[in-house]
Chains A and B, each alone.
Chain A
C-alpha cells in the first residue's frame, strides 16, 4: 500500500510539474506577444527546465530561439535551437526546428553547419513542399562556401519552381566566364615592371607609387655609383630599391586577392538580393 501511495504521489508530482510548465509556457507566449523578449526567453527556459515532455521542451526552445533572433542574439539563438530534439512523427515541428537550426547557423556565418542541417532536414522531412521551402537558404550557403556549380543548378530549379523570368546566367555567369584575376600573373607583371601588378589589379594609384619608389631608389643608386658614392649606391640604392621591388610584388598579389574577394562579394550580393526579394514576395 505504501509503495502504491509513493507511486501515486510521484505521478501526482510529475503531473503537477507538467501543469506548471504549461502555465509558464502560456505566460511566456504572452510575454513574447507583448514583445518583452528578454523576459520571455527566460520563462521559456524555465519551461525547458520544468517539463519532461520533449514536445513541450521543443516548443519552448523554438520560441526562445525566436526571442534571441529578434533580439539579434544569433549565437544564443543557434545554441538554443541546437538543444532541441527531432522527434518521430512530428514532421511540421521537426521542419521548424531544422529550419531554424539552418537559418541561425547561416546568420552566425557557420555555412558548413548550415548545409549540414539542411541535409538532415532533407532526409528527415517527408513533405517535399516543405523541403523546397529551404532551397533559398541552401543556395545562399552554397554560395558562401564557393560551391557555385551546385548553387547554380539549385538556383535554376528555384527560378523554375517559382515561375520567374530570370536569366540564370545573369546571376551565375561569372562561374563560366571566370572574371577573377590571377595572383601569379600580377606577381609576374610586377617582376617585369614594378607597379604593373597593382595596375593589373585595378589599383592604378598604388601601382604608380610603387613604380616611383622602386625606380626612384634604383636611379638614386645608379647616380650615386656613377658619382663615386659607392656606399650610398649599395645601401640606399640597391638595398632600398630591392625592398620596394620585392614588397611591391607581394603587394600586387594581395591587391588581386582583395579585388577578387570584392568581386565575389558583389556577385553573392546580387544573388542574395534576388532571392530575398522573391522570398519577401511569398
Chain B
C-alpha cells in the first residue's frame, strides 16, 4: 500500500514538473515574441546607456518612452534621467527644464531640485537656484539632506555676494557628514578670500596712469604690463621731447612723435581704468568656479 502510494506520488510530481517546465517554456516564448519591454526593463537599459556615457542615446530613448509610459511617476523618472543626460552633456538650460518637470510626489524629487539648483547656479541664475531649493519640503528631508540643503543655500548666498546670509547659514553647519564636511570648511575659506578682494577704483587707476603712465596697471594688479607700458610711453615721450627741443612745436617730427605719444598716453589711461574692472571680475570668477565645484561634489556623493 505504502509502496504504491509513494510510486503514485513520484509519478504525480514528475508529471507536475513536466507540465511546469512546459508552461515556463511556453511563457518564455510568448513573452519573448510578443511582450514589449516593461518600464523597469527600459530603465535598466537607460542605466546601461549612462554607464557607457551614451547621453545622446539616453535622450533618444527618453523621447521614445515619454509617449509610451504616461503615468506621473514614469514621466517624472524619465524627466529626471533626461535632466541628468543634459547635465552630463553640459546643456544646463535643458537640464534645468527637465529637472523642473519632476513631480513633487516622486521619490527622487529632492534629487531633481538639488541638481536643478546647481545647474541654475552654474548659469549664474542665483535667485532662481535659491527658489528651486526652497521648494523642497524641509520636514520630509533626512538629517543628511537637511544639512546638504543648508550647505547648498549657503553656497548660493556666497555666489550671490550675500555674505551676511552666508555667515548665518554657516553658523549652523555641524560638519558631521563626511560626504561634504571638507566642502563646508572650504566654503568658509572661500568666504574669507572673497571678503579680502580689495575694492579698487577705476577712477584712481586712470588717475595714476595720467600722472605716471603704467602705474594704473600696477595698481590694478598687473605690474609687468604696467612696467611695459611705462617704458613704451617713456620711449615715445623722449622722442617727442627731442623733436620739440630741436625742431620746435610745428615740426613734422614733433607732430608725428607727439601724436603717437598722445595716443599711447590716452589709451593707457583708458586701459588702466578698464583693467581694474576686468581684474576684479577675473578674481571673482575664479573663486565662483571653486564654490561651484565644492557644491557639485557633495551632490554626486549623496545622490549618484
Contacts and interface: CB of A to CB of B under 8 A. Distances in A.
Interface of A: 1, 4-5, 8-9, 12-13, 15-16, 19-20, 23, 38-39, 41-42, 45-46, 49, 228-232, 235-236, 239
Given A1-B13, A8-B24, A46-B45, A232 B242 contact: yes
Given A1-B13, A45-B57, A49-B48, A231 B238 contact: yes
B78 to A, nearest CB: 15
Given A23-B33, A42-B61, A12 B28 contact: yes
Contacts of A13: 28
B66 interface: no
6 contacts: A12-B28, A15-B28, A20-B32, A41-B57, A45-B57, A232-B253
A49 B32 contact: no
Chain A contact surface mostly: helix
B60 A16 contact: no
A228 B235 CA distance: 17
Interface in B1-30: 13, 17, 20-21, 24-25, 27-29
Interface residues of B, number: 31
Nearest to B53: A79
Quick one: which of A4, A38, A49, A239 has the most chain B CB within 10 A? Answer: A49
Nearest to A232: B239
Given A49-B45, A235-B238, A42 B57 contact: yes
A45 B54 contact: yes
A41 B54 CA distance: 11
Contacts of A231: 238-239, 241-242
B18 to A, nearest CB: 11
B21 A8 contact: yes
Given A8-B21, A42-B61, A236-B239, A229 B246 contact: yes
Contacts of A16: 28-29, 31-32
